[in-house]
């Protein structure tokens, strides 16, 4: 029996409920992380996609095919983000930059878009490094204080800036900037499609960039649609 899905529910909440829905939205270019607050009806209208088609595909995704992040406590979610996503960016980013620089030096004259991609990716790594530090040093420690206080049935101390909503707003704005950056890279690469004259290194960096973007989507989704709303509720 098909599950009845309201077209007014947000795309972010659908992915939070079953992360396998992310594949459906990604297929049609629907942003479920930075714009996860948008309703399914609005998201489909913006992309010119049939709501009935999306509903049909959402009902076909396998339940349990992905991790049930929505059931995790907030401290476990933060630990996952830190150890999988923050660590992944720091480990993979510099290696990818080296490969991208090499590919651009060889193929840049015939594919000048590589120079723009170089600039975008380098800027992304710089901004993400600052972003991760702010989450690790300011936002997440306070969210964990809120969680621990709630578990102990005690009130938490007020955040130095007045409310956890303020750093969350800043982090979400930075998420929006990264989302836009990778949408530009996606467009420049024709959805990470290798040109006919691409060498193995060229094909590899395109795959790595695609994987990096997909990981970033999960990262942003977990924060925007699960961790941040729960932090505000805890406060």
Q: Is 67 domain-assigned?
A: no
Examine the domain organization and report whether 121 and 26 are in the same domain: no
Domain limits for position 146: 72-234
Please state, for a pLDDT cut of 70, what percent of the chain lies above it: 96
Q: Is 65 domain-assigned?
A: no
The encoded tokens of residue 98 equal 């080296």
Q: Is 182 domain-assigned?
A: yes
Q: Residue 18: is its pLDDT beyond 80? A: no
- What pLDDT is recorded for position 31? 83
Average pLDDT of the segment spanning 112-117: 98
For residue 193, which of 182, 214, 209 has the smallest C-alpha distance? 209
Number of domains in the chain: 2
- What pLDDT is recorded for position 24? 86
Examine the domain organization and report whether 147 and 105 are in the same domain: yes
Average pLDDT of the segment spanning 155-183: 92
Examine the domain organization and report whether 105 and 170 are in the same domain: yes
Query: What pTM was computed for the model?
Result: 0.80
Confidence band (pLDDT; 50, 70, 90) for 20?
confident
* Three-class DSSP category at 176: helix
Exposure letters 151-185 (e unless 16+ CB within 10 A, then b): eeeeebeebeeeebeebbeebbebbbebbebbeeb
Strand ranges (E), the chain: none
Examine the domain organization and report whether 118 and 153 are in the same domain: yes
The encoded tokens of residue 192 equal 């990470």
Q: Is 66 domain-assigned?
A: no
Per-residue pLDDT reduced to its tens digit, 54-97: 888 888 775 545 678 989 999 999 999 999 999 999 999 999 99
């Amino acid at each position: 029996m098909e599950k009845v899905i309201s077209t007014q529910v947000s795309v972010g909440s659908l992915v939070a409920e079953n992360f396998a829905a992310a594949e459906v939205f990604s297929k049609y270019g629907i942003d479920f992380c930075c714009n996860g607050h948008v309703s399914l009806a609005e998201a489909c209208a913006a992309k010119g996609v049939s709501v009935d088609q999306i509903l049909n595909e959402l009902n076909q995704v396998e339940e349990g095919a992905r991790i049930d992040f929505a059931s995790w406590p907030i401290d476990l979610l933060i630990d996952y983000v830190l150890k999988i996503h923050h660590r992944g960016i720091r480990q993979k980013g510099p290696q990818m930059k080296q490969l991208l620089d090499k590919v651009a030096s060889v193929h840049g004259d015939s594919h000048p878009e590589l120079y723009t991609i170089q600039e975008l990716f380098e800027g992304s790594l710089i901004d993400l490094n600052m972003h991760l530090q702010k989450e690790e040093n300011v936002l997440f420690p306070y969210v964990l204080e809120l969680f621990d206080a709630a578990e102990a049935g005690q009130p938490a101390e007020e955040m130095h800036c007045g409310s956890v909503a303020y750093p969350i707003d800043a982090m979400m704005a930075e998420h929006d900037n990264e989302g836009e950056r990778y949408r530009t890279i996606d467009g420049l690469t024709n959805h990470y499609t290798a040109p006919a004259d691409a060498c193995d290194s060229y094909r590899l960096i395109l795959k790595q960039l695609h994987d990096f973007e997909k990981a970033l989507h999960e990262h942003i989704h977990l924060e925007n649609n699960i961790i941040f709303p729960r932090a505000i509720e805890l406060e």
